[in-house]
Amino acid sequence: MITVALAKGALLKDSVARFASAGLDFSAVLNSENRQLMVPSTCGRARALLVRNGDVPVYVAYGQAQLGIVGYDVLREHQMPVAHLVDLGFGGCRMAVAVKSSSGYQRAADLPPHCRVASKFTSCAREFFDALDLPVELVHLTGSVELGPITGIAEAIVDLVATGRTLKENGLLAIEDLFYSTARLVGHPLSLRLDNGELSSIVQAIRTEKPLIKASN
């Protein structure tokens, strides 16, 4: 039986739709009354694991799921050994450096050396600032990183930005982008190599489906 990993949250509805285009109906996971974390498809030949966004590449990398859909931001942050198969086009957002609107900073290089930068994505942030040759102290936060500059715990943040509304409402401004992120179909490399054609047919059906271009909320 094929197992796919689906991320809870903003990507779920479109992820279910893309697997449906390949003949795998996991619509039961969209039922607000559903509490199952492992849901069979209606055809009975596959099942879905409903997991946190950051856990999708983990389940795929360890072979507990042969396929999964996850944001590129997660793939960049965690660098798990999974096969990158299809850019699905939905869930679009950007990883950006943001500061207080009143700070006067216009680009990341304007930040003072050794200042504090708060982020959930510390690996992405470290790679970015190392490339700038700008030493900073990274503060790992798991909640609303926008509070970093507001409270003074950090001079700047690195976070995902979709519409920019949350930043604006908290007096923050994005000054530089690290990269653009969309949802990606990923696979377990060994399962793909040993595939008898079943996985490849699903991947091909998803690949040929018209991309969904929309921003995450």
Tens digits of per-residue pLDDT, 5-20?
999 999 999 999 999 9
**Is 217 within the bounds of a domain?**
no
Average pLDDT rounded to a whole number, residues 49-73: 96
**Is 214 within the bounds of a domain?**
no
- For residues 23 and 56, state if they share a domain: yes
- For residues 174 and 155, state if they share a domain: yes
Query: What is the reported pLDDT for 216?
Result: 39
Give the whole-angstrom CA distance, residue 84 versus residue 81: 9
Task: Inform me whether the pLDDT recorded for 123 exceeds 70.
Answer: yes
Contact 128, 77 (CB under 8 A): no
**Is 216 within the bounds of a domain?**
no
Instruction: Kindly list the strands in the beta sheet with 183-187, ordered across the sheet, starting from the edge strand earlier in the chain.
Output: 38-40, 46-51, 2-7, 67-71, 183-187, 83-87
Task: Inform me whether the pLDDT recorded for 204 exceeds 90.
Answer: yes
> What pTM value is reported for the model?
0.88
Query: What is the reported pLDDT for 217?
Result: 35
Residue 78 belongs to domain spanning: 2-91+182-208
Structure-token match 């998803």, residue found: 206
Task: Inform me whether the pLDDT recorded for 215 exceeds 50.
Answer: no
pLDDT band at 201 (very low <50, low <70, confident <90, very high): very high
Burial classification of residue 23, based on how many CB atoms lie within 10 Å of its CB (0-12 exposed, 13-18 middle, 19 or more buried): middle
**Is 215 within the bounds of a domain?**
no
Query: What is the reported pLDDT for 210?
Result: 56
- For residues 126 and 159, state if they share a domain: yes
Domain count, the chain: 2
Pairing of strands 46-51, 38-40: antiparallel
Residues in the chain: 217
**Across all residues in the chain, what is the average pLDDT?**
92
Average pLDDT rounded to a whole number, residues 57-81: 96
- CATH (domain of 196): 3.40.190.10
- For residues 24 and 85, state if they share a domain: yes
- For residues 18 and 87, state if they share a domain: yes
- For residues 81 and 101, state if they share a domain: no
pLDDT band at 169 (very low <50, low <70, confident <90, very high): very high
Average pLDDT rounded to a whole number, residues 99-115: 96
pLDDT band at 37 (very low <50, low <70, confident <90, very high): confident
* Side-chain half-sphere CA neighbours of 47 within 13 A: 10
Average pLDDT rounded to a whole number, residues 134-159: 95
- For residues 119 and 159, state if they share a domain: yes
Tens digits of per-residue pLDDT, 83-94?
999 999 999 999
Pairing of strands 67-71, 116-119: unpaired
